[in-house]
Amino acid sequence: MSDPTKILLSEKDMPRQWYNILADLPNGMRPPLHPGTGKPVTAEDMSAIFPMNLIEQEMSSQRWIDIPEPVLEKLFMYRPSPLVRARNLEKALGTPAKIYYKNEGVSPAGSHKPNTAIPQAYYNKVFGTQRLTTETGAGQWGSALSFACQQFGLECKVYMVRISFDQKPFRKLMMQTWGATCVASPSTETQAGRAALARDPNTPGSLGIAISEAIEDAVRTPHTKYSLGSVLNHVMLHQTVIGLEAQKQMAMVNAYPDIVIGCAGGGSNFCGIALPYVCDKIHGKTVQVIAVEPAACPTMTRAPFVYDFGDTAMTTPLLPMHSLGHSFMPPAVHAGGLRYHGMAPIVSQLLLDKLIEARAYPQLKCYAAAMLWCRTEGFIPAPETSHAIAVAIDEANRAKEEGKEKTILLCWSGHGLMDLKGYDDYLGGRLRDFELPQEEITKALDEIKDYPKP
Ligand SMILES: *Cc1c(COP(=O)(O)O)cnc(C)c1O
């Protein structure tokens, strides 16, 4: 009998621990710095916005961290997620390569994001937090956190960038369905919001403004904390269930990937699939690990490794990362989740250590790849996910040219059923690629040239 197409784990085989790469990094990591003092931030500094149990995780270098039982119980609602062999795509490409994808689109919110939203809501609940605030762009993170808060009986307040709030009502409706309050940002409810509205009453808003509103709300409201869906170490940690499951599933068909691929906005789904394999690589295995970003927001491929703020409003600590500068405004590509000026410090360090490699792809090529995927494998991917698909197709074609039976694994980070507007624009011939002139990068980087150097 031939190998199965879907490789499914039972709940008892679900990983019971998260993997922490900080225990294995060959050169360690630079600490985040307090922007005022230039000294490493302390747990105390972070306690105004995060609960202490998550701060401990953020700073931990313990290799394996137990997944609490109540978190496992919630993850079981959709995990373990399927590993699927993309046989129809392989056939269409005529490639000798085997392509496997880890389907993270099966969660209630439709992406990998609940993998961290659930533990973050849980740890806040245990800590005594009653309410969480966050920001959201296109709404993927806001919907994931709304779902998780609802599961643990926490209130949730989401500041959603005005332009998405108006143009993409469906994610907002998901948040409301799960009991969260979602307001357009800038709002009149915070000083940061009112100041932005005073500057420009018709502003479309920005992620930077939404972050400052969410943080201001968390700092000033009793029993309220703030939550972030990517970039930070504890988020990467929570996502490692993806790669740990994939390792078990690949072993069930006696396979091991030659190439592991993930798209990277802040870096969390990429880390989720990649970190357990990077661990293997550090310990001697041969495996190529590729992170892919949009050419319109080339953080890993064209930005330097610097200390910069995680947000446009300059409220976070200075993070050691590849950054285009916190004031950099990426062009409006449809892959909203990949439009971030920085990159997770963990991903940035792995790039420096040459344990992973990075590529930048233009959006038309990614939509073409997504189209081929939809017409072979059926499931409609998120525009972010299409970047990983495009790299997988390129690698499968290369394997064909070289006559090699490569094994490719990609993280299918989410479905695109809430993003059909992008498909409409692509099918209607209205999409274009953006050239990003060097001057624009230089301009945003100029603003941070006097910051401490990592
Ligand atoms: C948010 C999102 C991303 C990008 O975020 P990362 O933290 O880089 O994973 C990618 N794919 C989907 C489907 C998303 O929702």
- Determine the average pLDDT of the residues in 325-331: 85
What's the mean pLDDT in 395-400? 98
Distance CA 51, CA 70 (A): 18
Is 124 a pocket residue for ligand 1 (Cβ < 6 Å)? no
Answer yes or no: is pLDDT of 144 > 90: yes
Ligand 1 contact, 247 CB (< 6 A) = no
What are the residue boundaries of the structural domains of the chain, listed by start?
6-16+66-110+234-437, 114-228
Residue 328's pLDDT band (boundaries 50, 70, 90)? Answer: confident
167 band by pLDDT with thresholds 50, 70 and 90: confident
pLDDT at 13: 96
CATH of domain 114-228: 3.40.50.1100
Q: Is pLDDT at 1 greater than 60 in this prediction? A: no
Using the structure block, give the residue that is written with the tokens 């993927």.
140
Which atom of ligand 1 is least distant from the CA of 105? 13
Q: Which atom of ligand 1 is the closest one to the Cα of 385?
A: 11
pTM of the model: 0.97
Would the CB of 116 count as within 6 Å of ligand 1?
no
Quote the pLDDT of residue 442: 94
CA–CA distance, 177 with 429 (Å, rounded to integer): 34
Mean pLDDT, residues 150-177: 94
User: 296 CA distance to ligand 1 centroid (A)?
Assistant: 16
Alpha-carbon span 452 to 430, nearest angstrom: 43
Residue type, 352: L
Measure the CA–CA gap between 397 and 386, rounded to whole angstroms.
16
Residue 311's pLDDT band (cuts 50, 70, 90): confident
- Fold agreement (6-16+66-110+234-437, 114-228): yes
Q: How confident is the model at residue 261 (pLDDT cuts 50, 70, 90)?
A: very high
Contacts of 360 (CB under 8 A, 6+ apart): 292, 293, 294, 295, 298, 300, 301, 302
Q: Which two tokens stand for residue 206?
A: 């920005």
Q: How far is the CA of 334 from the centre of ligand 1 (A)?
A: 12
| pLDDT exceeds cutoff 60 at 180 | yes
Per-residue pLDDT band at 381 (split at 50, 70, 90): very high
Asked if pLDDT for residue 433 goes beyond 60, the answer is: yes
Q: What fold, for 6-16+66-110+234-437?
A: Rossmann fold (3.40.50)
Check whether 168 has a pLDDT greater than 90: no
Q: Tell which wins on pLDDT, 332 or 201.
A: 201
